[in-house]
Structure 1
Amino acid sequence: MKTIVRFRKLSATQATLLTIVMMCLKDLNDIVIDDCEVHVTIEEDCLCTVTALIVIKRGVPIISLCEQLQKHITEEIEAMTPFTVDKVHVVVKHLAM
């Protein structure tokens, strides 16, 4: 899995948020983990925005999987950290064979 953060150094906060998002992606068997990218931006007011670029296996209902992933990421971050998730963007890069 490719992990991209828009900061020069990876802070403990960023590493924690990225780890939580990666765990959420690994929970779903319909996602090809090796081709995914995750971007996390952190605001000053304990807000974060997550963008996940994912590859989905062919034949999986895309909309319901993306909605499930958005909900799962939001719930996990808010349960494990003091952050509030502002947005979770899920972008399907392509479908895997």
Structure 2
Amino acid sequence: MPAHHTSLQRLTQGLREVGPALFNGVPQPHEELLALVWGPRFDRVHALGLAAHQPEQAARTLPALLSAADCFDTLAAQSQRRLRSLILRHHRLYA
């Protein structure tokens, strides 16, 4: 299995684990998630703002979120685009 595929799997798994706590009460979670990964680097400032809205979950979500950020930043551009495509597809299926 290519390394970029493994990294993408690890990233998506981490986001699945912290997503429910991080996006709890957020009206448009898919849009928020896309905002985090829209550019070539993970938007850590935006992520910290989301985490600040869930202070009781911060101890659990912050380490996983920062790990996801580091993982995203190491992905090749093609893998970053694939992740965005997966988020958009998931949004269409569950919207």
* TM-score, length-scaled by structure 2: 0.33
* TM-score, length-scaled by structure 1: 0.32
The structure whose residues are more often strand, as a share, is: 1
